[in-house]
Structure 1
Amino acid sequence: MFAVGDKVVYPMHGAGVVKTIEKRERDGQSVDYLILAMLLGEMKVMVPVDSVERVGLRHVIENDDIDAVEKVLEERPDNYNKAITWNRRFNMYLEKMKSGNVFEVADVIRTLQVQENEKKLSTGERRLLGTARQILISEVMLVKNAEQQDIENWLNKFF
């Protein structure tokens, strides 16, 4: 399970650290909550312990997994759904990000960044790219114990 000090990823929010576990009242019941300090955005998130699996909270990847993330970022999509309307692509990318899987998030970044470099993205896709980048950057910051700018530079070298 999770303990104070654990480095975690909350899908669609990014990486953070479990700061405390607090008991709170919910519907007349005493419930344990994980209090997460998110790495980027100065946000504090409360997740009921009994909901961590449902919301997809997970531990950050291991340092050894960074090579596999880099492989995803280095690949170039042959056909990145050009025939699909932008809103269907958007929903497809959103589902990948909601999965919380770091490789799916990297895939979304790679695909959208390649599209952005070839032709401009829609406003929604550009915003999704920004969110995906922040999620991946925050996780890699915790894995590598590095500063945000260093990880942004690391990510930018792929594009």
Structure 2
Amino acid sequence: MLAIGDKVVYPMHGAGVIQAIEEHEVLGERQLYYILTMPFGGMKVMIPMQSVDNIGLRDIIAEPEVQRVIDILQTAPVPVNVSWNRRFNACLVKLKTGSIYEVAEVVKNLMSRDQVKKLSTGERRLLDTAKQILVSELVLVCRRDPGSVEEWVHDLCQENTPGN
């Protein structure tokens, strides 16, 4: 069971800290909720305790696992020659897994693609979401501020971009 102070990842939203456990009535039903505070903008999210297993809430990665994220970001992306909507859907599937490694792949691939050819509006939003998810977890794992982590991720991805 999760406790106040635990650092967790909520797939498609990012990482945060459980600030409280509160009872709320929603649609006439009273139940307990984890109150999760996200590092970006201090957004608060209510997660029903009974739904935790179904939504894929997980603990943040351990500090030694950051190296695997770095390795993914520094590895050259594999060129994908499919339509933008197939790329978009493939990226969305990866984000929904909640895996930081899958999210890092999405960030790397979309950032690289953006260097070669500007992303569509949908892919740009997907990249922004993926970066926010990735950075939010790395902020909590590495105990650094969001700005420096975002710059670090950008620099790591630049290392694998052709022509840099």
TM-score (norm 1): 0.93
Q: Shift in Å at residue 131 of structure 1? A: 0.8
**Shift of the alpha carbon at 1:56?**
1.2
In 1, distance between residues paired with 2:136 and 2:146? 7
Q: Separation in 2 of the partners of 1:41 and 1:116?
A: 26
1:127 to 125, 128, 132: 125
- In the TM superposition, 1:1-159 aligns within 5 A as 1-26=1-26, 29-79=29-79, 81-82=80-81, 84-158=82-156, 159=158
Deviation at 1:87, TM superposition (A): 0.9
| AA partner of residue 43 (structure 2) | M
Distance 1:17 1:149 in 2: 19
Report the alpha carbon displacement of residue 110 of structure 1 after superposing the two structures with TM: 0.6
Identity across matched positions, percent: 48
Find the aligned partners of 2:78 and 2:16 in 1 and give their Cα distance: 34
- Mapped to 2, the partners of 1:99 and 1:92 lie a distance apart of 11
Deviation at 1:41, TM superposition (A): 2.7
Q: What is the TM-score of this pair, normalised by structure 2? A: 0.90
CA deviation vs aligned residue, 1:40-96 (integer Å, no higher than 9, x gap): 1321110011101111111111101100001111111232x22x1101110110110
Partner of 1:72: helix, strand, or coil? helix
- 1:129 alignment partner AA: L
What RMSD, in angstroms, separates the aligned Cα atoms of the two structures? Answer: 1.3
What is the total number of aligned residue pairs between the two structures? 157
- Cα distance in 1 for partners of 2:153, 2:28 equals 46
Unmatched segments (≥5 aa) in structure 1: none
Matched residues in 1 for 2:31 and 2:38: separation? Answer: 21
Inter-CA distance 23–73: structure 2 relative to 1 (3 Å threshold): same
Mark the CA change 1:153 to 1:27 in structure 2 (over 3 Å): closer, same or farther.
closer
Q: Residue type matched to 1:139 in 2?
A: E
Q: What SS does the corresponding residue of 1:35 show, helix, strand or coil? A: strand
Provide, for residues 14-63 of structure 1, a one-character-per-residue CA deviation record: whole Å limited to 9, x for no partner.
11110001122356654211011111132111001110111111111110
